[in-house]
A and B are shown apart, each in its own frame.
Chain A
Amino acid sequence: MIIQKISRVLSNYDNILPLFAGACAILAVVALLSLPLPYFEDQLYPKQIVPGSTLNPYDRGGPPFTRVDIRLQYPENSPTAGYVTAYLTPFSLFLARNTMYMGTTIVAHPGGILDEILYNTRGLDTVVEPTILFISFAIAAYIFHRRED
């Protein structure tokens, strides 16, 4: 009987999202109750802030085309890790030498620690992510085109 009732509620797809949201809300409460969680101090890819650097907060050292040491999970799998971190495009090098604003725009230029993580050491994540974007876009484009007929 109870299973029948549950399946009747579940079979109405309008109830699915409220149920799932309710489950998430309950788990959020559980998370709040379990709270003081430890912070593991010895993290990978630690953040350093170098005050006064034009590349602040992304100054990880190293002139272009040299290697810097970064702390990654499996150094033996990425033999060239560190080159991308140190690389600056000619335009961004010009900005870094002449202005104080390079650090705020470094994520827009090729090179830097974020590109190192995104493209090189954790490249598979970033391959899956444009695939999700690609699939969503394909769905949207298909539904859009279908309205033509």
Chain B
Amino acid sequence: MAWNEYSFGLLVVFLAALVGFLALARERDDLHKLLLVDLVEVASIAVIALLGTDLAEALILPGLVVGIAELLALSQLFIAKEGIAGVPARGLNIEVVQKSPATVIIPGFLVVYGIILSGFTGGGVAALGLVFYFMSHRFLGDFHVLELASGISWALWVAAFFVFMFAPEFWFLALMGAAVGILLKVITKISLVGVMWGEPQ
């Protein structure tokens, strides 16, 4: 059988995966295990990318999100297991961050721009703004609002899916519902990455 471009790609990816898994097999430290697992996830994304069609791009997104989601849960479990709680979470101790109004203006701009973009990338942009805001101000709000928003976005998405499947003539409504659902979902989830630590209020 001939060596096509696909096989050469697989050769590189599986070599990388082999290195990653060998490192994982030798590692004994729990935190490093988590980081290495996250690293070998890249290999699975690369195998999907080698398909090279539009379908590949659509399959990468779930693959990527599954990795991020499990990482979120496992890192929280790691914190609980090691008892790292009790570290006070303050804002960044930098004078310009604490004093200037830029810490409100820049997140505000990013959130508005993200909402205009909508969809997955828009959610990422808006979440970046929120992460910056939470980092520079001590996060005092409670998570219940964000948890509620993530639940609503999930329901919105599932509703949009059922419209697509059972009433395809309303595809436009479903498209907008799914776009708003993913926007809310990505904003709430990504903005909490790195914020959920320290002392809960």
Contacts and interface: CB of A to CB of B under 8 A. Distances in A.
Instruction: Consider the complex of A and B and state whether they touch directly, i.e. have CB atoms less than 8 Å apart.
Output: yes
Interface of A: 14, 17-19, 21-22, 24-25, 28-29, 31-32, 35-39, 43-47, 78-80, 83-84, 87, 89, 91, 105, 107-111, 113-115, 117-120, 122-137, 139-141, 143-148
B82 to A, nearest CB: 12
Taking chain B's interface residues, is the majority helix, strand, or loop, or is none over half, making it mixed? helix
Contacts of B80: 143, 146-147
B162 to A, nearest CB: 9
B55 A117 contact: yes
B21 A45 contact: no
Contacts of A143: 76-77, 79-80
Taking chain A's interface residues, is the majority helix, strand, or loop, or is none over half, making it mixed? helix
A81 to B, nearest CB: 8
A107 to B, nearest CB: 6
A126 B165 CA distance: 13
Contacts of B4: 36, 38-39
Interface residues of B, number: 81
B131 interface: no
A115 B122 CA distance: 14
Contacts of A24: 17, 21, 24, 40
Interface in B3-58: 3-7, 10-11, 14-15, 17-18, 21-22, 24-28, 33, 40, 51-55, 57-58
B175 A129 contact: no
A124 B62 CA distance: 11
Nearest to A89: B118
B72 A124 contact: no
B172 interface: yes
29 contacts: A21-B21, A21-B25, A24-B17, A24-B40, A28-B14, A28-B18, A32-B15, A35-B7, A36-B3, A43-B53, A43-B55, A89-B118, A107-B119, A108-B122, A109-B117, A110-B175, A114-B61, A117-B54, A118-B178, A120-B171, A127-B158, A133-B68, A134-B154, A140-B73, A140-B192, A141-B143, A143-B76, A143-B79, A144-B76
